[in-house]
């Protein structure tokens, strides 16, 4: 079976391009279902990346071309700008990449914990078969191992923590500073906890669904409001954290300009964690208005990495081991049909010979006939054991297909189907 990956990430593309192809969980599941025409498909879309994973045993299926076309179709007007930034990986390289993603090694913030859940959700929403099921289960296993067996996940420098650190850099002491949360998802919750630990006050949680916003507001000691109240709240909020899945801006120039007039020179900080972005980028041109998006957090993150490099090295080694295990398993798939055919061939010979001797065996007691059946089965199993082991071992290297062809030729496997 073949595996193909086509993606766009923060490694190559800025947020203004990544947001054009970002999709939420239901849309990712729908796209995976559309792609799963004669193949398996999973779509992983986060703040840092959008990736399409396809797998099939049909050698004529143009997986990479289909994935590329589908990814570019998410933003047809930007296809010319996006296409050169796409990365395309296959088989071993694609598997290793996913394992690194699940372990947090490919994140903007190495070791961040949110990605493991995002990989799990993408897997759950995908249309999987034997290869992608094995791939994603092993990726999740690798991600958990990296966090348990190394220190990469200890005191993780997550995106929410980086956002809180950025706010403290801008204002110094966050004590008494009022925060407006826009969006009530996990990212907003984690950011709120980080800000509160630094002394900030969460004033309100604005969310499209008031009931959902009320749940988070109760946890952080704030009040829940609808998105329509954001313009009025900007007049009193010192820090605005946005993290919604809205398709357009939830904070625009008109609202910001009105708020700045009411604030009488007091600055306001916007930290936009959403992809697509929630805050109109042009706000950064206004005096007293500071706007940072998720890419801007990289400078904050870099300062937290020095003490974690050795842990990342250990995690890389662990991930490489898991990727090698997957490679060996995928390679073994090439010889599995041959092994099955060889066993079926041997069993057919055994059954045929017993059938020829049926008249003589019929005179034996039932216990003796069962003994003959058992002994002949054991002989076949033992004769085939070592060839089976050797073929599986060879499959892990470059000689697997050669061994398979030799076995087919020596035993005439498949020839009876052609006659």
List active site positions.
47
Tell me how far apart the alpha carbons of residues 78 and 69 are, in angstroms, rounded to a whole number. 12
With contact defined as beta carbons under 8 Å apart, do 165 and 232 qualify? no
Tell me how far apart the alpha carbons of residues 303 and 247 are, in angstroms, rounded to a whole number. 32
Tell me how far apart the alpha carbons of residues 335 and 337 are, in angstroms, rounded to a whole number. 6
With contact defined as beta carbons under 8 Å apart, do 167 and 174 qualify? yes
Tell me how far apart the alpha carbons of residues 335 and 317 are, in angstroms, rounded to a whole number. 28
The CA distances from residue 168 to 164, 195, 199, 321, in Å, are: 6, 9, 10, 40
Q: Where are the alpha helices (DSSP H) in 74-113?
A: 79-82, 91-102
Tell me how far apart the alpha carbons of residues 164 and 232 are, in angstroms, rounded to a whole number. 23
Tell me how far apart the alpha carbons of residues 144 and 119 are, in angstroms, rounded to a whole number. 12
Tell me how far apart the alpha carbons of residues 377 and 380 are, in angstroms, rounded to a whole number. 5
Residue 2 CB neighbours (<10 A):
18
Please, is 408 exposed, middle or buried when counting C-beta atoms within 10 Å of its C-beta (0-12, 13-18, 19+)? middle
Tell me how far apart the alpha carbons of residues 235 and 63 are, in angstroms, rounded to a whole number. 51
Q: How many helices (H) and strands (E) does the chain have?
A: 19, 10
What are phi and psi for residue 286, nearest 5 degrees?
-85, 135
């Amino acid at each position: 079976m073949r595996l193909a990956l086509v993606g766009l990430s923060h490694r190559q593309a800025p947020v203004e391009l990544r947001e054009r192809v970002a999709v939420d969980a239901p849309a990712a599941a729908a796209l995976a279902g559309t792609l799963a025409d004669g193949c398996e498909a999973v779509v992983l879309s986060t703040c840092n990346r959008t990736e399409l994973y396809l797998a099939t045993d049909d050698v004529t299926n143009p997986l990479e071309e289909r994935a590329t076309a589908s990814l570019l179709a998410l933003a047809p007007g930007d296809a010319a700008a996006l296409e050169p930034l796409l990365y395309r990986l296959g088989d071993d390289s694609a598997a290793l990449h996913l394992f690194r993603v699940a372990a947090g090694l490919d994140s903007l913030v190495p070791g961040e914990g949110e990605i493991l859940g995002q990989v799990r959700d993408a897997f759950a929403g995908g249309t999987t078969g034997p290869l992608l099921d094995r791939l994603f289960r092993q990726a999740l296993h690798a991600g958990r191992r990296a966090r348990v067996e190394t220190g990469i996940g200890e005191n993780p420098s997550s995106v929410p923590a980086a956002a809180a650190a950025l706010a403290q850099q801008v204002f110094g002491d966050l004590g008494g500073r009022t925060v407006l949360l826009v969006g009530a998802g996990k990212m907003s919750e984690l950011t709120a906890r980080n800000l509160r630990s630094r002394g900030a006050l969460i004033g309100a949680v604005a969310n499209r669904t008031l009931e959902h916003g009320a749940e988070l507001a109760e946890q952080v000691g704030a009040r829940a409001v609808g998105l329509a109240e954001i313009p009025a709240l900007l007049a009193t909020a010192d820090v605005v954290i946005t993290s919604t899945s809205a398709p357009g801006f939830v904070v625009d120039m008109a609202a910001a300009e009105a708020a700045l007039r009411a604030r009488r020179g007091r600055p306001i900080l916007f930290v936009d964690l959403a992809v697509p972005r929630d805050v109109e980028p042009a706000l950064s041109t206004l005096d007293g208005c500071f706007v940072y998006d998720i890419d801007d957090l990289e400078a904050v993150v870099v300062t937290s990495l020095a003490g974690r490099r050795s842990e990342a090295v250990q995690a890389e080694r662990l991930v490489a081991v898991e990727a090698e295990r997957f490679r060996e398993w995928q390679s073994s798939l090439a010889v599995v049909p041959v092994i099955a055919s060889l066993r079926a061939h041997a069993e057919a010979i055994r059954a045929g010979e017993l059938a020829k001797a049926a008249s003589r065996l019929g005179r034996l007691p039932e216990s003796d006939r069962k003994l003959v059946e058992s002994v002949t089965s054991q002989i076949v199993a033992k004769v085939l054991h070592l060839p089976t082991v050797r073929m599986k071992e060879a499959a892990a290297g470059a000689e697997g297909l050669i061994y398979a062809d030799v076995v087919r030729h020596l035993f005439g496997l498949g020839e009876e189907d052609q006659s």
